[in-house]
Amino acid sequence: MFDMANEYINIMTCPLSDQYMEVRRYKIEQALDQLPDKYSKIINAYIDRKTNAYYEVNEDGFSAYDMDQAILRS
């Protein structure tokens, strides 16, 4: 379950996405939706924490998302 969650996070935070990754994201979402509620709450909290950390601003005023976007623009 955590492997699926980690792969989902990697797909959601990857700045270079393609059709294959969108299909993988959709399949993982379907699999996570079928989990029992007690597991679903834990996995969703884990996903939320990891994606929030990706967008969280560091002491320099930049997030990992900002850095990814700057690399893509250069």
- Taking only the tens of pLDDT, the chain with its 74 residues reads 889 999 999 888 887 878 899 999 999 999 999 999 999 999 999 999 999 999 999 898 999 999 888 888 87
pLDDT at 26: 94
CA–CA gap between residue 13 and residue 62 (Å, rounded):
15
Residues 3-17 as b/e (b if ≥16 CB within 10 A, e otherwise) read ebbeebbebeeeeee
The pTM is what?
0.80
pLDDT at 56: 92
pLDDT at 73: 87
CA–CA gap between residue 30 and residue 65 (Å, rounded):
26
